[in-house]
Structure 1
């Protein structure tokens, strides 16, 4: 009996030891669970805080950010986009993303099918605000895979470039007025020449009228004598002698020609003034324009740059109206004509013969091409890659600022979606080609 009790006591002790160990393990497990629970709570708090922070950043970031689903509808948009559009979130979410844009929208279907995490090319687009005005933006997009899901979302960024556009327009206008200022002396000379022969012709007509007045007074004296019944032979002889002295027949022949010269001179002045007005007047909206007329007007403005060193060779075909900022295109033509004139002048100064400035227009599919060529020395190979860089110039100080070709390329390529290219050969000359679509479309923006 004692042995049995001893065995039971040992079993009880063993059970108590196991229970103690189990209680200890349970306590450890509870502590671990509490630690894990606290850690999970901290992680959840951190995630919530991070999510709220990132959400705040997304909402407040200066760029306009929005998400477009595979079906082409807007899934989310930040506050800056809503501010640009002048719309509430419920007026944007769920609507087709293409409806946010004026003109051609981005190709959202192509973007959604693009490789994940690959950014598409930047392009200039126009957002359509609720009040009707448009906002120029620089648009870019990246396609992302939604974590844990098979669907994709296109992350779109639209940066407001209204201020940049305004500054670019002011810079172009400033450079245009600078060009007008540089050409002012030549234009003044162009005006002075016809004004001078207008002045000479008017002076001749004035003197002729004075002589004719003397002759008319003689004839009136002779008529008075006839009416009074007095002898008129003396008065007739006096008038005849006066006519011979004044060479009245020659005056009568020359006076109409002098008036014609005066009229031609005034027309020439009017043409120059009209060309200057057409060249310098800012055009804030694209509209259909006659490029042939614009080219002729710009050549009149720039005549003083080339007429002493080159002959002008025009080959202008009939062109359709081109939708453009005409004042900007005038600026491009002027910059190219002035550069060509300077290239020819440099060759002439080095002992070369009188050169030729060529201006030609032609069709190229739906585009028009303006080609401006010179017989200068050509562009050295070492600088060809830099001629469109801002402030790059090979001219001496005071003759060029290095902005002409940079602004010309910006106008042609960025503003009008065209191309500005050149061909050059050392010792032969250079030809620049301005290719413009008749109706510009939104095209990728150069990165």
Structure 2
């Protein structure tokens, strides 16, 4: 694990700051317990797929990460369980090996979570809070909630409880937004040429962001066109039925080799009879929902088949946030305010909503669904922005920079709203399909 001295708070924390952090820590932990609390020991302990950790490993890792940053780094105290440091270090113990290490089992893992939380709260009571370190801990646990949901979907495990929000069955104004008929993802909006800014501002003035989101920097882009919505199941099904997985000319050499080696014929979770697996339920494909669990390779092939491409990361962010009227980027596509009623995030429905169901979350460009529902693949490799500085540790981002990873943007239905910002950058290998990922297409403007 990392070796560093104690890190005192960077700013004086008020009582309201302390209360807000404690509330967020408590709410996040409650959601973690709800997520997996209904699963028995054998299910939590099992390696459901070599691609993912045992669910109980994630629980222990959450506790170890919190102890490292909220107790050791913040308060200068020794780790509660030094003997578990390597077991729960994500770099020392890669996913493929995690089923073979001596990780804690169900009861022990929950006890470890409780013991570390007691230490965290005691440190806060003595020293106050560090807005950055404690936010790191909160978001880390929330991100592992989505990782565990990916495992649960791959393993076809049941959802933990009734959804917090009901399904969107009325697609008119009562569902949070009116929806245009026939929306399938092929409708494009034009984003004018000109300057924009990309990335997050200084943490001292604008709050927490990950190092790979910084610094905010200007970009100049030619005019382009981008999908008003992500591609839907219906539109992607047309691609499948039209021989999309058989037409060699639409696939890159690497993508075709991957597809042939693994006999890929449709998105992950789709069945041959027009249904799809969502957690433990196999349901009919909803034509109006965004396609999900597709790789970058599949998204790229679809775009090529339609004379299009995937948007670059800078194009995606400009379409999501840039307000030509004010000459500035919005905090969220919709402006200010939280995501409720504007984006499908926070795993409140355990699945996607029909595209266009959140018109109140529209971006200035006219794009819908830029945050939530599905992560969106971009054309861009994962690299540091000009002036990048690793913070607070190199292994979060910098070790992944290079041509091997592609960037995804926007968050999914399983992403917590706190994480799903318009500047947040996710990344994975182009062949990966466990992510709740879809895409929208782009073209150069005529």
Question: TM-score, normalization: structure 2?
Answer: 0.24
- Look at both structures and tell me which one has the larger radius of gyration over its CA atoms: 1
Which has the bigger relative contact order, CA under 8 A and spacing at least 6? 2
User: Which structure has the highest helix share of the two?
Assistant: 1
Question: TM-score, normalization: structure 1?
Answer: 0.24
